[in-house]
Structure 1
Amino acid sequence: MSTVLYERNRTYIPRIAAVHDMCGYGKCSLTAAIPILSAAGCDVLPVPTALFSAHTKFPVFTMTDTTDMLSGYLDAWQQEGVELDGVYSGFLGAPEQVAIIQRLYEEHPGALRLVDPVMGDGGQMYATYTQELCDAMGALADGADILMPNLTEASILTGTEYLGNDLSDAQVDALLQALLDLGARNVVLKGIDHGDGRIRNFVAGADEGVGAKVELVHEKLPYMCHGTGDAFASALIGGVMAGLDLPGAARLAGEFVRNAMISTKHQPDYEMRGVSFELCLGELADLVD
């Protein structure tokens, strides 16, 4: 499988609308997407879906839903003639925000549709999510150039039982096929763990089929950090917009997150504070030297 989704012109800086929440404390979402994509040579245009004081794993946080402001926000973009090369969607604050993303698709038909269906992890939906919001999120799978779910999100999207992280090859194939059947053009399925000290991600495309899937294996570190999924998705998109093929971008993203986690371990309150990727941004900047 060798899928190049974007042919990079080295003198041109691609514009990516990042439709995600903004979190004040605990690095994730836009506070990951903006610096990571910028390091990869992209112009990041944030579309904030919610404003959080801290991410939702903290016992105390505030959330402000931005749904009511987004139509006017995009009206202003339209009047200014903003052009986009990609639409990257992540955490949503309300079901109605799916229509905001679909509006961007309609107004920018040539833009790549890059969907990280942020809904949950470890078999559980996130605290601010409802079944209605998850159902609405599923509409973004159809036509996605890249769909990047973890195993929890894949089970929600496909309406199948969450089976944990230790999936057999046959179960991986079935889940990849179910995701492609939703209408995604390419799928990156994250987080398969056989308990052997390694994490596996899989890449499959509708054109080549599940039989041509690519398995990417990375060292599993013996601790967790918040925000690794957002860092992975942002780095993957940065790789794609730098002209890497999809497996190459997914491999880059996996190693970027691993290296950032090693840096994170040296920071105070690292498990809750969020993945500290700052010292690893040069890996992405090297893509566009």
Structure 2
Amino acid sequence: MLTPRVAAIHDLSGFGRCSLTVAIPILSAMGLQCCPLPTAFLSTHTGGFEGFTFLDMTEEMPRVAAHWKSLDLRFQAIYSGFLGSVRQIDIVETFIRQFCREDTIVVVDPVMGDDGRAYRTYTPQMCAGMARLAELADVITPNLTEAAFLLNEPYEQLPKDPEGLREIVTALSLQGKRSVVLTGVSLQAGKTGAMCYDAASGQIETVQTDFVAHPLHGTGDVFASVLTGALVKGDTLVSAAGQAAEFVRLCAVRTVEQDLPLREGVDFEPLLGLLTQDSLRKATGAEKMS
């Protein structure tokens, strides 16, 4: 039996834990073959580092896709993250249409902004393109800022109460056509996690774990990578989100307790054994709320 394959479409930083340097080891530890399609190569990630180099891989992306198509490669998941231009969004949209099969899970992490603001490279045209790309997804993983962009609503007017958040994930589901994992949701003091709309069941559940009050880079990539891996392995949406939230928490706690440089991202490598051994799958420790 072939090892399940995940096409991971992200940028690659030579230093700093994010994007492909997170996705490749996490998916591999979970027993999956990660097939990277880099959108760009950077010397370091852009959070906290100055003077980094940047190599745009836009021209190479369709060539890679064409070669993979000629080899009749098949993927159990297609997983995309931060994209650098409208053209890259169009290329990923074409890739999904070319490679998506009945058994393919499409996960789009619509990385566009945080704290109510778009990232500096994201124009209104790019946000509209990302919303279009997300329409092809089986699962999307926006934070509240990205949810506002996808819904074309002012961030400041988004409700933060449980009932309002339920309305948000329901609206993001496009009338039940796709599953939604809304990240950065906190329903209790000292807790954070995600609210999940499962398109298969129509149910909404929330996972919450202890909050680590430090600015940590790459946690969204860690979360989405574990989530994708768990979904490919057959876990339910809420179980996958619970595993992802708990793994992020454990990595954040380790990073802070060891007093490691925060700008380098969470120190997840020593904890990969938890994913290999399915320890989180058996008992995540995450609290579920219906």
Same fold (TM over 0.5): yes
Deviation at 1:80, TM superposition (A): 2.0
Looking at structure 1, the residues matched to 143 and 8 of structure 2 have their Cα atoms a distance apart, in angstroms, of: 19
Looking at structure 1, the residues matched to 43 and 176 of structure 2 have their Cα atoms a distance apart, in angstroms, of: 35
Contact 1:50 1:64 in 2 (8 A): yes
Partner of residue 278, structure 1: 269
Secondary structure of 2:61's counterpart equals helix
Contact 2:162 2:187 in 1 (8 A): no
Determine if the alignment matches structure 1 residue 215 to structure 2 residue 206.
Answer: yes
Question: Superposition RMSD on alpha carbons, in Å?
Answer: 2.2
Contact 1:166 1:192 in 2 (8 A): no
Looking at structure 2, the residues matched to 261 and 184 of structure 1 have their Cα atoms a distance apart, in angstroms, of: 33
Greater mean deviation of Cα atoms: 46-55 or 263-272: 263-272
Greater mean deviation of Cα atoms: 80-89 or 102-111: 102-111
Looking at structure 1, the residues matched to 122 and 81 of structure 2 have their Cα atoms a distance apart, in angstroms, of: 13
Which letter maps to 1:74? A
Partner of residue 90, structure 1: 81
Contact 1:187 1:205 in 2 (8 A): yes
Determine if the alignment matches structure 1 residue 258 to structure 2 residue 249.
Answer: yes
Determine if the alignment matches structure 1 residue 53 to structure 2 residue 43.
Answer: yes
Instruction: Map residues 80-119 of structure 1 onto 2, 5 A cutoff.
Output: 80-110=71-101, 111-119=104-112
Partner of residue 126, structure 2: 133
For 1:67, which of 58, 61, 69 is the aligned residue?
Answer: 58
Instruction: Map residues 1-289 of structure 1 onto 2, 5 A cutoff.
Output: 11-60=1-50, 61-110=52-101, 111-163=104-156, 167-181=160-174, 184-193=177-186, 196-209=189-202, 212-267=203-258, 270-287=261-278
Deviation at 1:96, TM superposition (A): 1.0
Deviation at 1:270, TM superposition (A): 2.6
Identity of aligned residues (%): 38
Deviation at 1:48, TM superposition (A): 0.6
Deviation at 1:170, TM superposition (A): 2.4
Greater mean deviation of Cα atoms: 260-269 or 44-53: 260-269
Deviation at 1:59, TM superposition (A): 4.7
Structure 2 stretches lacking a partner, 5+ long: 283-290
Q: Deviations over 1:233-253 (max 9, x none)?
A: 001111112221111010000
Looking at structure 2, the residues matched to 228 and 200 of structure 1 have their Cα atoms a distance apart, in angstroms, of: 12
Which letter maps to 2:228? I
Query: Alpha carbons of 1:202 and 1:194: their partners in 2 closer, same or farther (altered >3 Å)?
Result: closer
Q: State the number of aligned residues.
A: 277
Deviation at 1:71, TM superposition (A): 1.3
Secondary structure of 1:181's counterpart equals coil
Query: Alpha carbons of 1:70 and 1:143: their partners in 2 closer, same or farther (altered >3 Å)?
Result: closer
Query: Alpha carbons of 1:286 and 1:263: their partners in 2 closer, same or farther (altered >3 Å)?
Result: same
Structure 1 stretches lacking a partner, 5+ long: 1-10
Q: Deviations over 1:118-141 (max 9, x none)?
A: 111111222332222221111122
Q: Deviations over 1:186-231 (max 9, x none)?
A: 000010235710013111034544xx30011110012221000000
TM-score calculated relative to the size of structure 1: 0.89
The structure whose RCO (Cα within 8 Å, separation 6+) is larger is 1
Contact 2:186 2:208 in 1 (8 A): no
Looking at structure 2, the residues matched to 183 and 63 of structure 1 have their Cα atoms a distance apart, in angstroms, of: 39
Secondary structure of 2:67's counterpart equals helix
Which letter maps to 1:66? M
Secondary structure of 2:34's counterpart equals strand
